[in-house]
């Protein structure tokens, strides 16, 4: 299973590397921007929960 995933990733990487640079930029940004937005949202939620737990109950 892991070997097949590695082979698939290698083929995707080879495909991206062979693209014209502006197309590489578009493809990478289309994949990276949503992942970064989701990661930022998750970190924000986690920090909010930790801060609320450390602050204690509101009066």
Hey, what are 39's tokens? Answer: 């990661």
> Domain-by-domain residue ranges, the chain?
20-59
**Spatial contact of 16 and 28, defined as CB atoms under 8 Å apart:** yes
Decide if pLDDT at 2 tops 70.
Answer: yes
pTM of the predicted protein model: 0.63
Mean pLDDT to the nearest integer, 2-22: 92
- The overall average pLDDT reported for the chain is 92
d(CA 38, CA 45): 11
Mean pLDDT to the nearest integer, 31-36: 94
Contacts for 28 with CB less than 8 Å, ≥ 6 apart: 16
14-29 pLDDT, tens digit each: 999 999 999 999 999 9
Higher per-residue pLDDT: 44 or 31 = 44
pLDDT at residue 59, as a whole number: 66
């Amino acid at each position: 299973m892991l070997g097949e995933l590695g082979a698939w990733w290698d083929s995707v990487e080879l495909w991206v590397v062979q693209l014209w640079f502006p197309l590489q930029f578009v493809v990478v940004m289309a994949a990276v921007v949503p992942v970064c937005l989701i990661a930022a949202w998750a970190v924000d939620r986690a920090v909010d929960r930790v801060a609320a737990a450390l602050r204690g109950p509101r009066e």
